[in-house]
Amino acid sequence: MAIPDYPSTLPKPSMGNYSLKPQSGKIRTEMEGGPARVRRRSLSVPVDVQVLFKFDRKEFGIFQKFYREDLFDGASYFNIKLVNGAGEHIVKARFKDEYEASVDKHENFWQVSGTLEAMNMPLIS
């Protein structure tokens, strides 16, 4: 089964509330004496990405359909263009939890926020 792409008709995440937080990729074992032993758990460490989308009513409807049908209520991975220190790249991600949506004060736009779990974020070469 192919990984779906984030709809090209929808705006990319806003940089206003954007943040990255790598998940822990190590195991720490406290020793009875001396320093703790720390070792790498995996070479592929997911990165939590806080995102905020700003949609008009129609775009929000497209997003809801994509989330429900293509992502099976957020359980599946999808391809999306995200930004990190290496620039803007398409990565595989999924929603870590349910998204939150609210209408802005002028009732023109929906603000949708959530946390994506991004796999294999590229590094600068």
* Segment 39-54, tens digit of pLDDT: 777 777 898 999 999 9
What is the value of pTM for the model shown? 0.83
Contacts of residue 5, defined as CB under 8 A and 6 or more positions apart, other chains included, come to 78, 79, 80
Residue 95, SS3 per DSSP? strand
Q: How many other C-beta atoms can be found within 10 angstroms of the C-beta atom of residue 12?
A: 14
Averaged pLDDT for residues 115-119: 94
Burial class of residue 53 (count of CB atoms within 10 Å of its CB; 0-12, 13-18, 19+): buried
Question: pLDDT (tens digit, 9 = 90+) per residue, 13-47?
Answer: 988 888 888 777 777 889 898 888 887 777 778 98
